[in-house]
Structure 1
Amino acid sequence: MKKWIISVIVIVLFFTGILIKVYVKAQEPINSAEKKAVALAKKTVAIKEVDDFHVYHGNDTVNVIEGKANNGEKMIVWIPEKTKQVIVRKAKSGLTKQQAINKLLKEKNPEKIISVRLGMEKNIPLWEIYYRSKNNLINYYYIQFDTGEWLKKIENF
């Protein structure tokens, strides 16, 4: 009985180790992209602290950094993969996440909002809202970060 329990524990530990290794390997490209993007952003903006990093995949791939400048002010940095042109905005100069959601709610009646994140299309910083409609279809709503104007919609009826 002891040998059976020890064998099961060894097998579980082995597969857990494999899963951890696969996860760490899968995260390497994202971690590498973050390091490069932060280094590039620091050449343009004095970023003291990075609060969030994600990769936006729209027409082009864009690295998005949310953080704080040396003076404590919240900043957002967009870096398109192709051009590496750093675009910086103060967070308070554009729409907040909640304001973007409220804009969607005024126009649409989503069943469930799945995600809201910053991105960029054609060098225009934006909020991408990914949601499900009443008939359980996936939809996207894009709002300009700077002006709050609707940029585009991808709707399924």
Structure 2
Amino acid sequence: MGKKTLIFILIFGIIFLTAILAGANVYRTAMSQKESGHPEAAALAKEKADLKEVDSVETFVGKEKQYIVEGKNQKGEKMYVWVPADKKQKTIFKKASDGISSRQAAKAVENGGLVSDLKQVHLAREGNVLLWEVSYLNKDGQYSLSYVDFINGKIHKTITP
């Protein structure tokens, strides 16, 4: 190999390695921000809702940031706890059986003739209204969100950009 080729490969390798390390750092930083507050939310949910175990914690950011904690109470019943990031708001908890399931929420949106391709269903909250956030591609191929009331299963609102 010529001297110029070796120098080119060495410089390219250094640039490539730097790009990978920078990308990994950005990813790690973004994921740590996404999960910050999860341990505190889980501890608060255990205290307020008398959870025996926590199965998962997700972050929902709508009008207000919420941590959605899923777990089981002392009787082994599945529970959902909406823990607001703003300590002035109140923590709300419900048995999963007190509302509709994620599948029922998705079905409510599908029955409305809106869905072409269902993406995800997550718990959400707006003020004191407990919701399921259903994300999907609509019939026109646009990414859309519908919010379905956790208690009665009615579509609260739909957002399509």
In structure 1, C-alpha distance between the alignment counterparts of 2:54 and 2:16, rounded to whole Å: 36
Of 85, 88, 92 in structure 2, the residue corresponding to residue 87 of structure 1 is 92
1:30, CA displacement in angstroms?
A: 3.2
1:32 corresponds to 2:40: no
Q: Give TM-score, length-normalised by structure 2.
A: 0.80
1:61 aligns with 2:104: no
User: How far apart, in 2, do the equivalents of 1:134 and 1:145 lie?
Assistant: 25
Structural mapping, 1:118-157, within 5 Å: 118-155=123-160
Q: Which has the larger radius of gyration?
A: 2
Segments of structure 1 that go 5 or more residues without pairing to the other structure are: 2-7
Aligned equivalents of 1:11, 1:47: Cα separation in 2: 50
Counterpart CA distance in 1 for 2:118 and 2:71 is 24
What do residues 119-150 of structure 1 show as CA deviations (whole Å, max 9, x unaligned)?
Answer: 00121110111111121112221111011122
Moved more, 124-133 or 44-53: 44-53
Please tell me whether residue 50 in structure 1 is matched to residue 54 in structure 2: yes
Secondary structure at 1:36 match in 2: helix
Deviations 1:71-126 (A, max 9, x none): 21100000122234210000111010111111111112411112111000121110
Cα drift, residue 56 of structure 1: 0.9
Unmatched 5+ stretches in structure 2: 2-11
- Contact between 2:52 and 2:73, CA under 8 Å: does it hold in 1? yes
Offset at 1:9? Answer: 9.3
TM-score by length of 1: 0.81
CA distance in 2, matches of 1:10, 1:32: 33
Q: Which residue identity does 1:68 align to in structure 2?
A: K
Q: Counterparts of 2:90 and 2:96 in 1: how far apart (Å)?
A: 19
- Label 1:102 to 1:18 Cα distance change in 2 as closer, same or farther (>3 A): same
Aligned residues: 155
Task: Evaluate the alpha carbon distance shift between residue 42 and residue 110 of structure 1 in structure 2; reply closer, same or farther with a 3 A threshold.
Answer: same
2:119 paired with 1:114: yes
Bigger Cα displacement from structure 2, 125-134 vs 146-155: 146-155
Summarize the alignment of residues 2-17 of structure 1 with structure 2, pairs less than 5 Å apart.
Answer: none
Code of the residue aligned with 1:100 in structure 2: it is: A
